[in-house]
A and B are shown apart, each in its own frame.
Chain A
């Protein structure tokens, strides 16, 4: 699964035993990064976590109104938040007219993942990303694969304190050149992700953001100055899907994509194909045309398989044929790097040179089996391959 949370992090009312068991399963899978745990002097970061700790750091990007009301300006929702209330994301609270982020430093998942899991296919392939998240999200996607973390309030999820400096140190110790803000929605922990990115860069690390793209333009532009890559989940190409399935709107996400492309930050897109809800090939074709017109043909687009989860358990996993139809539609519009995700062994996990059609990067799942990109060019014909390769 592309950037799914290591399972069972952030459970509703977990017992200590359950949480430890969950961490044990993750470690047993051989994927657990111990860096975060070592920072805390624990084998398992959750073992001594104080459930529900909140940070109470003043938020950025809000406007004070009359009578202690504030308007949040971190995402396009622009929540009007009265005193003692929280915004839609439940990670920001108004206290007496001052708006606070409750999740600064409050990390509820930390893990080292292959960069391919994000997925970022044209960004330092074969490297690890020191990945972390807090609780909360500014959307409510009914198919969220990380809902155990994203759809809970910060005090409902086990968390540990990790300062930006500790994050950078943890990444270096684990040998990961990348720090990824992922799993949940980094927009809701904007201030923390921003500070982590600044410190990480000072340490020679590459910060990346994995996001829905549901973010206001001002904070987005601030982010663009401190991160190296962004993966945006373009969840559909219809506003009705965004409204009915995600509780959001399409237009701000498209604006985000355009801004990111203009900024020069490396950009990749994921489109999770949900059977019957956003798998209309005409919509895929319209989306591909829009991408071509607005950001060109060289931005990688990943069509990934949906698995039933959270509120959408009544739908089957996406058939491989549906994904193939989406790929064909995008290909036909001229997009150069179109991939299939969550289908291990699928030929469209690989990268071919758009000019000579020779295979450049061969992947099996998250493992790189071949890399023929040399100095950013095709080893066979010398064609420049867009991406960040070193």
Chain B
């Protein structure tokens, strides 16, 4: 079931968004309104690599005016949004080239979605399918794309059709029979967990697909937090606002080296009351936010959430005893997982 429309006034949110563009003090390159960036600087020609490769401190947000069709997301608009975003990210007008700069045809790509909150505030199946189609257009068979999360049940509850062998995009939980977790403990810093074999064995690359939402303990549940779903024991790593656990986890080579892209499902934004869905604090944002740098993306997401909170008379996350400090830690020299300083992030905002 989609969120009630009275809670998700997209027009109001669009105005709110435009208002915030200025207040955030972020760069506004590429607000051309068409599908591709105006710049034609060629992107990096290096082979697809990890999250830190190439244009790492660039974050692109694309919002679609017709993103919602009634209570549902319009798949065609979503496809355009994703193409525009990846083109802007990779500095090219050629959508296929953009995807091919990130993934090889023989890659098996895992989409690590976030399905904790049920149908209203999970990574939408429409986003996963749009990603699968985009990768298909770049030469990857749809069967080589796996949407996955911790459990089959969570995926189903979020609206995913479980699919292990019926053609098209695969969709499966770590707890599915025959999948499971690694038998060797993956350890780094204060974190130790058994990684999902969907990450370690069944896929060669990962697209992290978080949701743009507030989190009651760690402040912001972005891409760094989404990877808690890669291990068997995420509950152990929430204390102290998830810090430094999120950084330790994301520094695991099995994650860091395999994560090529982050595509944040920002069709809905929830600025308070997360991680579960709370209609009164959720807005129809109608966007996707992409980056190869997970820290930069989370930094931008945190700013957006803080901005929405401020506009709605809510205190900053830090004053609510849940600063999203795990993001800064991940960007610190000790971890160097990305850029956590807004001033050093090239933030491109577009509409389609």
Contacts and interface: CB of A to CB of B under 8 A. Distances in A.
Interface of A: 12-13, 52, 67-69, 77, 80, 82-90, 140, 142, 151-153, 155-156, 247, 310-311
A311 B187 CA distance: 8
Nearest to B116: A84
A151 B235 contact: no
Contacts of A88: 235-236, 238-239
Interface in B237-263: 238-239
Q: Considering the complex of A and B, which 9 residue pairs feature the smallest CB-CB distances, nearest first?
A: A13-B180, A83-B276, A82-B216, A90-B235, A84-B276, A12-B181, A140-B236, A12-B194, A311-B192
Nearest to A85: B275
A87 B182 CA distance: 24
B275 A247 contact: no
B278 interface: yes
Residue of B187, B233, B273 contacting most chain A CB atoms (<10 Å): B233
Given A12-B180, A13-B179, 11 more contacts: A67-B278, A77-B239, A80-B217, A82-B275, A85-B116, A88-B235, A89-B235, A151-B236, A152-B232, A152-B233, A153-B233
A142 B190 CA distance: 10
5 contacts: A82-B216, A84-B275, A87-B235, A140-B236, A247-B239
Contact of A156 (B182, B232, B236, B274): B232
B242 to A, nearest CB: 12
Q: How large is the interface on B (under 10, 10 to 19, 20 to 34, 35 or more residues)?
A: 20 to 34
Contact of B236 (A67, A83, A247, A310): A247
A288 to B, nearest CB: 31
Contacts of B183: 12-13
Residue of B187, B238, B275, B276 contacting most chain A CB atoms (<10 Å): B276
Interface in B170-213: 175, 179-183, 185, 187, 192, 194
A155 B180 CA distance: 12
A52 B153 CA distance: 12
Interface string B276-301: 10100000000000000000000000
Nearest to B234: A90
Contacts of B235: 86-90, 153
B216 A90 contact: no
Contact of B233 (A13, A68, A83, A151): A151
Contacts of B278: 67
Nearest to A91: B235
Contacts of B232: 12, 152-153, 156
Contacts of A247: 236, 239
A96 to B, nearest CB: 9
B82 to A, nearest CB: 27
A68 B216 contact: no
A246 to B, nearest CB: 11
Nearest to B214: A82
A271 B181 CA distance: 32
Interface in B102-136: 116-118
Contact of A84 (B117, B182, B217): B117
Contacts of A85: 116, 216, 275-276
B268 to A, nearest CB: 15
A247 B185 CA distance: 18
A67 B182 CA distance: 37
Contacts of B194: 12
A94 to B, nearest CB: 8
